[in-house]
């Protein structure tokens, strides 16, 4: 299929079949899966959904704009505590809290991003690490924000027109709606003027400045947008758990999200989703399969010790194998497979 | 690769479905554990203790003929995996969840109420959870940090001759919410007893505390030190205190700085001579229930597991299992069919009273209002290469702790 205009090249649906694929995926996720799957599996998808939104946000910053950030977990906590304070102190409804959490995280993110105007790469990573630690410390010590020494604020369940969203199935639809918004939002963002500016900065920031991109504005914008996603993730996570707790947003969370986008593929929407699925699902799948096989080889007491350790080893091993097989991540792997089958059985 | 993954997922689904059917014949407990994450030194000894007690009860025919199945899931001390494990336990039909980890306790508070499944948080979680009216499905079942703080001051008072007026007490704590939780209680007790209190925070990861310890020993010149540290830091604190010459007999540690492993990591038993450690389960091997477990292994022709040597955490696992099963036993008494729900087990917990398991478990009294069961602890002291019991089960300043529980309930 030949594309003759820029519009056609940038279209959301590159091929006519894509429209049908999207429709099929929508039916699968909104109708088929909730009817077929046990609530337990929906609860796993819920965790993936939350991770997806966070990973998309981080990918905008790291993958598209090329600014490394190790502060994603902290930005999530900013959103979470803002929303929790709004909910508890003012009794505000969840959409208000959600937006407030996102905006506050965006503001804090933009401030933490200021060093990016002078430093790049690993140096920036360390600067954002400082941001993570400072935010952690602040939430830990300022009881006005954290709501007491326990640094936990319980929030009521979200309600839509009086309908209380509490069970995993109800949460599933709630969160899936936001995943759709985040995916469509990111896809549109990266093909807009802003997205192209981000990519220009990533590829060569001096050249980008010469062709008239305001580096100052776009770098901070990238931090703000990315942190907005993180804030939204934090708020959704808070509503999912029913509590904002400081220990849920520590440095290891930031690292997990970085792992997601690196494994999934930097600078791609689909890669963020693959990464979120991979990192969230793999430990669970490994454990479930080991529980079924392990009994043949080891005693009961030994297996309980072996499973968690083997899971860590396999998790690390599989990440290495996938990255060696395709350094550009699962997204590239997927594209290779797809383009192979698109012309199949004719290799050329 | 994709095919292999597909097979794995397929198998997982099949196995999951099979477990669901089998759940009807036995009473299922969901047990969270951390053998690989941030607190793995606890999990590797605590969880075997838990399973051994369940095995012991099952080998004697279970509870009123009903076998117990404890499904352990390791969550690496990560919250998303903890949530996943909870949903899995729920799917398998668990009537009781042994939560592990403070953030996990917070994350499950709302869920437990909605699903009407009781959960236990011995030695961690929120001290406010002792309030059974406010958290009907959460059971600390062991002394919370507030009760531990009150007991620590009482111990200091006894060690310092029964009067704290004008004395200086230092509080050395890991700088996280759990570490700061008891400070309010300390301040109230300080006002009553007339002692001076100063707090010394150790920032995470808690392996640097030379300055704080020097300050305590030589500038502040504390009369007594209460320590509340986690992970590697208790052993570091013992080493540092030893180095600056602070007498370890004037130190009492909260329950997570109180294991054999901490003493060994600090340089051995001779280094830590005199160190006082607070416990919510009995320490040592001389309990009838442990003899029974050893006998059970012997009958099978096996050696007792090596985890039994780490008596602090192993015994805590036994305690947790024993209290769980006591609650289930109370529930089954009313429903002989064994077809009990989480609601029945909750009521079973609230009937636990005077159950001691030969001294390993404190004489708890759990009621619909008090889910902590009295906040009892024992102090053990390092003497001649082992932990020696220094006090009987006790709790202190119950009115002050109760006041804080009530206040937090109003928030």
Distance (Å) from the alpha carbon of A180 to chain B's nearest alpha carbon: 21
Q: Do B36 and A242 touch (CB under 8 A)?
A: no
Q: Do B47 and A301 touch (CB under 8 A)?
A: no
Contacts of A47 in chain B (CB under 8 A): 80, 83-84
Say whether residue A304 is in contact with chain B using an 8 A CB cutoff.
yes
* Same domain as B191, residue B95: no
Contacts of A326 in chain B (CB under 8 A): none
CATH of the domain at A59: 1.10.3470
Residues 348-367 in B contacting A (C-alpha not used; CB under 8 Å): none
B4 falls within a domain: no
Residue B129 burial by Cβ neighbours in a 10 Å radius (0-12, 13-18, 19+): buried
Q: Do B15 and A291 touch (CB under 8 A)?
A: yes
A-B contacts at Cβ under 8 angstroms: 124
Distance (Å) from the alpha carbon of B179 to chain A's nearest alpha carbon: 9
Looking at chain A, which runs of residues are DSSP E strands?
152-154, 159-160, 163-164, 243-245
Q: Do A39 and B102 touch (CB under 8 A)?
A: no
Q: Do A151 and B177 touch (CB under 8 A)?
A: yes
Cα distances (angstroms) measured from residue B195 to each of A100, B147, B237, B241? 45, 19, 23, 22
**How many domains does one find in chain A?**
1
Residue of A nearest to B20 (CA): A38
Which residues, 6 or more positions from A165, have their beta carbon under 8 angstroms from its beta carbon? A157, A158, A159, A171, A174, A239
Cα angle value B330/B365/B57 (rounded, 5°): 40
Contacts of B411 in chain A (CB under 8 A): 148
Residue of A nearest to B7 (CA): A289
A104 falls within a domain: yes
A1 falls within a domain: no
CA of residue B303 relative to chain centroid, distance: 27
Other CB atoms within a 10 A radius of the CB of residue B6 amount to 10
CATH of the domain at B225: 3.40.50.2300
Phi, psi of B224 (to 5 degrees): -150, 150
Residue of A nearest to B92 (CA): A40
Place of tokens 């014949």: B25
Say whether residue B81 is in contact with chain A using an 8 A CB cutoff.
yes
Residues 200-229 in A contacting B (C-alpha not used; CB under 8 Å): none
Cα distances (angstroms) measured from residue B169 to each of A69, B102, B115, B157, B179? 43, 27, 44, 10, 16
* Same domain as B82, residue B97: yes
- Measured between CB atoms, which of A40, A152, A285 is closest to B88? A40
Q: Do A248 and B107 touch (CB under 8 A)?
A: yes
Say whether residue A129 is in contact with chain B using an 8 A CB cutoff.
no
Q: List the one residue out of B56, B39, B100 whose CA is nearest residue B262.
A: B39
A312 falls within a domain: yes
Cα angle value A197/A198/A203 (rounded, 5°): 95
Q: Do A157 and B47 touch (CB under 8 A)?
A: no
What is the C-alpha separation between A321 and A331, in angstroms, rounded? 15
B6 falls within a domain: no
B7 falls within a domain: no
- Tell me the whole-structure pTM to 2 decimals: 0.89
Say whether residue A241 is in contact with chain B using an 8 A CB cutoff.
yes
Distance (Å) from the alpha carbon of B48 to chain A's nearest alpha carbon: 7
Residues 60-99 in A contacting B (C-alpha not used; CB under 8 Å): none
Residues 22-61 in A contacting B (C-alpha not used; CB under 8 Å): 38-40, 43-44, 47, 50-51
Mean of pLDDT values over A299-326: 83
B369 falls within a domain: no
Structure tokens at A304: 């309980």
Q: Do A243 and B110 touch (CB under 8 A)?
A: yes
Q: Do A242 and B102 touch (CB under 8 A)?
A: no
* Same domain as B298, residue B172: no
* Same domain as B165, residue B292: no
Residue of A nearest to B74 (CA): A308
* Same domain as B55, residue B118: yes
Phi, psi of B144 (to 5 degrees): -80, 175
Give one DSSP letter per residue of B33-93, joined into a string. E-SSSTTHHHHHHHHHHHHHHHHHHHHTT-BTTB-EEEEEEE-TT-HHHHHHHHHHHHHTT
Contacts of B80 in chain A (CB under 8 A): 47, 50-51, 280
What is the C-alpha separation between A278 and B2, in angstroms, rounded? 13
Q: Do B11 and A288 touch (CB under 8 A)?
A: yes
Structure tokens at A218: 């776009």
Distance (Å) from the alpha carbon of A301 to chain B's nearest alpha carbon: 7
Quote the longest CA-to-CA distance of chain B.
73
Say whether residue B87 is in contact with chain A using an 8 A CB cutoff.
yes
* Same domain as B264, residue B227: yes
User: Could you tell me the residue range of the domain that residue A187 belongs to?
Assistant: 14-342
B9 falls within a domain: no
* Same domain as B126, residue B256: no
Contacts of A291 in chain B (CB under 8 A): 15
Are residues A158 and A235 in contact, defined by beta-carbon separation less than 8 angstroms? no
| Helix or strand holding residue A104 (H, E) | helix A94-112
Q: Do A309 and B110 touch (CB under 8 A)?
A: no
What is the C-alpha separation between A128 and A116, in angstroms, rounded? 9
A9 falls within a domain: no
* Same domain as B154, residue B242: yes
Contacts of A310 in chain B (CB under 8 A): none
Distance (Å) from the alpha carbon of A108 to chain B's nearest alpha carbon: 22
Strands B68-74 and B27-33: parallel
The mean pLDDT value of chain A amounts to 90
Are residues B73 and B91 in contact, defined by beta-carbon separation less than 8 angstroms? no
State residue B19's pLDDT score: 43
Distance (Å) from the alpha carbon of B91 to chain A's nearest alpha carbon: 6
State residue A316's pLDDT score: 87
Q: Do B35 and A44 touch (CB under 8 A)?
A: no
User: Could you tell me the residue range of the domain that residue B61 belongs to?
Assistant: 26-143+285-359
Count of helices and strands (H, E) across chain B: 14, 12
B327 falls within a domain: yes
What is the C-alpha separation between A265 and A190, in angstroms, rounded? 15
Distance (Å) from the alpha carbon of B270 to chain A's nearest alpha carbon: 32
Distance (Å) from the alpha carbon of A40 to chain B's nearest alpha carbon: 5
Phi, psi of B119 (to 5 degrees): -130, 150
State residue B15's pLDDT score: 46
Q: Which long-range contacts (CB under 8 A, 24 or more apart) does A129-135 make?
A: A129/A70, A129/A71, A129/A251, A131/A71, A131/A74, A132/A70, A132/A71, A132/A73, A132/A74, A132/A251, A132/A254, A133/A74, A133/A251, A135/A71, A135/A74, A135/A75, A135/A77, A135/A78, A135/A108
Contacts of A129 in chain B (CB under 8 A): none
Sheet holding B138-139, edge to edge: B68-74, B27-33, B97-98, B119-120, B138-139
Are residues B34 and B297 in contact, defined by beta-carbon separation less than 8 angstroms? no
A6 falls within a domain: no
| A162 pLDDT tier (thresholds 50, 70, 90) | confident
The tens-digit pLDDT sequence of chain B (411 residues) is 455 555 555 545 444 444 444 434 689 999 999 998 888 889 999 999 999 999 999 999 899 889 999 999 999 899 999 999 999 999 999 999 999 999 999 999 999 999 999 999 998 888 889 999 999 999 999 999 999 999 999 999 999 999 999 999 999 999 988 899 999 999 999 999 999 999 999 998 888 999 999 999 999 999 999 999 998 899 999 999 999 999 999 999 999 999 999 999 999 999 999 999 999 999 999 999 999 999 999 999 988 999 999 999 999 999 999 999 999 999 998 888 888 999 999 999 999 998 999 999 999 999 999 999 999 999 999 999 999 999 999 999 999 999 999 988 776
| CA dihedral of A152, A153, A154, A157, whole degrees rounded to 10 | -130
CA of residue A104 relative to chain centroid, distance: 18
Cα angle value B123/A309/B37 (rounded, 5°): 35
A196 falls within a domain: yes
What ipTM was reported for this prediction? 0.88
Other CB atoms within a 10 A radius of the CB of residue A325 amount to 12
Q: List the one residue out of B115, B80, B74 whose CA is nearest residue B95.
A: B115
Computed from CA positions of residues B353, B354, B355, B360, in that sequence, does the dihedral angle turn out positive or negative? positive
Residues 30-69 in B contacting A (C-alpha not used; CB under 8 Å): 33, 35-36, 44, 47-48, 51
Place of tokens 């933490």: A112
* Same domain as B160, residue B102: no
Question: Choosing among A87, A143, A150, which should be mutated to test the B contact, i.e. which has the most B CBs within 10 A?
Answer: A150
Say whether residue A301 is in contact with chain B using an 8 A CB cutoff.
yes
Q: Do B91 and A247 touch (CB under 8 A)?
A: no
Residue A3: pLDDT above 80?
no
- Measured between CB atoms, which of B12, B35, B81 is closest to A285? B12
Place of tokens 């011995």: B122
Residue of A nearest to B72 (CA): A304
The β-bridge partners of B169 are: B197, B224
| A55 pLDDT tier (thresholds 50, 70, 90) | very high
């Amino acid at each position: 299929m030949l594309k003759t205009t820029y519009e056609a090249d940038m279209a959301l649906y590159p091929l006519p079949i894509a429209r049908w694929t999207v429709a099929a995926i929508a039916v699968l996720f909104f109708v088929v899966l909730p009817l077929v799957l046990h609530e337990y599996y929906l609860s796993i998808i819920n965790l993936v959904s939350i991770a997806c939104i966070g990973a998309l946000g981080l990918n905008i910053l790291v993958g598209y704009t090329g600014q490394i950030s190790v502060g994603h977990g902290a930005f999530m906590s900013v959103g979470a505590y803002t929303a929790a304070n709004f909910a508890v102190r003012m009794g505000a409804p969840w959409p208000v809290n959600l937006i407030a959490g996102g905006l506050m995280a965006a503001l804090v993110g933009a401030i933490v991003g200021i060093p990016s105007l002078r430093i790049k790469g690993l140096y920036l990573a360390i600067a954002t690490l400082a941001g993570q630690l400072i935010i952690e410390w602040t939430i830990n010590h300022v009881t006005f924000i954290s709501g007491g020494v326990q640094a936990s604020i319980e929030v009521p369940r979200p309600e839509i027109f009086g309908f209380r969203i509490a069970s995993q199935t109800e949460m599933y639809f709630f969160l899936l709606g936001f995943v759709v918004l985040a995916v469509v939002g990111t896809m549109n963002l990266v093909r807009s003027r802003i997205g192209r500016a981000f990519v220009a900065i990533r590829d060569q920031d001096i050249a980008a400045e010469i062709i008239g991109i305001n580096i100052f504005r776009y770098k901070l914008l990238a931090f703000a947008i990315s942190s907005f996603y993180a804030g939204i993730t934090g708020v959704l996570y808070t509503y999912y758990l029913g509590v904002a707790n400081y220990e849920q947003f520590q440095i290891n969370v930031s690292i997990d999200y970085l792992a997601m986008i690196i494994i999934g593929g930097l600078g791609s929407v689909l890669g963020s989703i693959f990464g979120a699925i991979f990192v969230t699902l793999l430990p669970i799948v490994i454990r479930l399969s080991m529980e079924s096989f392990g009994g043949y080889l080891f005693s009961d007491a030994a297996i309980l010790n072996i499973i968690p350790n083997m899971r860590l080893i396999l998790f690390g091993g599989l990440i290495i194998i996938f990255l060696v097989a395709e350094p550009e991540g699962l997204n590239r792997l997927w594209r290779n497979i797809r383009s192979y089958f698109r012309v199949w059985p004719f290799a050329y | 690769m994709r095919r292999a993954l597909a097979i794995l997922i397929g198998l997982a689904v099949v196995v999951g479905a099979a477990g669901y059917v089998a759940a009807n014949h036995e009473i299922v407990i969901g047990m969270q554990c951390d053998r690989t994450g941030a607190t793995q030194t606890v999990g590797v000894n605590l969880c075997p203790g838990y399973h051994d007690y369940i095995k012991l009860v099952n080998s004697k025919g279970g509870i009123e003929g009903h076998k117990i199945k404890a499904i352990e899931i390791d969550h690496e001390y990560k919250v998303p995996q903890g949530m996943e494990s909870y949903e899995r336990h729920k799917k398998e039909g668990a009537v009781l969840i042994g939560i592990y980890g403070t953030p996990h306790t917070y994350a499950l508070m709302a869920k437990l109420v909605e699903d009407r499944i009781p959960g236990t948080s011995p030695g961690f979680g929120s001290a406010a959870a002792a309030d059974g009216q406010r958290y009907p499905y959460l059971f600390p079942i062991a002394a919370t940090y507030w009760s531990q703080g009150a007991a620590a001051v009482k111990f200091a008072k006894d060690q310092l001759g029964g009067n704290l007026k004008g004395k200086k007490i230092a509080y050395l704590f890991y700088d996280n919410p759990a570490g700061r939780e008891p400070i309010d209680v300390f301040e109230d007790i300080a006002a009553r007893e007339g002692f001076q209190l100063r707090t010394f925070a150790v920032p995470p990861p808690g392996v640097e505390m030379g300055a704080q310890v020097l300050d305590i020993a030589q500038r502040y010149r504390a009369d007594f030190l209460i320590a509340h540290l986690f992970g590697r830091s208790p052993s570091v604190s013992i080493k540092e205190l030893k180095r600056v010459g602070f007498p370890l007999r004037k130190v009492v540690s909260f329950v997570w700085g109180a294991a054999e492993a901490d003493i060994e990591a600090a340089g051995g038993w001779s280094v830590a001579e005199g160190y006082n450690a607070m416990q919510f389960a009995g320490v040592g091997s001389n309990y009838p229930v442990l003899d029974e477990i050893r006998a059970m292994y012997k009958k099978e022709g096996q050696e007792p597991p090596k985890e039994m040597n780490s008596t602090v955490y192993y015994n805590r696992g036994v305690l947790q299992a024993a209290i769980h099963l006591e609650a289930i036993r109370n529930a089954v008494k009313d429903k002989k069919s064994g077809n009990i729900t989480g609601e029945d087990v909750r009521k079973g917990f609230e009937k636990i009273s005077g159950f001691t398991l030969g001294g390993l478990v404190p004489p708890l009294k759990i009621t619909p209002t008090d889910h902590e069961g009295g906040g009892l602890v024992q102090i053990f002291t390092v003497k001649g290469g082992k932990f020696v019991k220094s006090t009987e089960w006790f709790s202190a300043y119950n009115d002050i702790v109760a006041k804080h529980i009530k206040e937090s309930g109003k928030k």
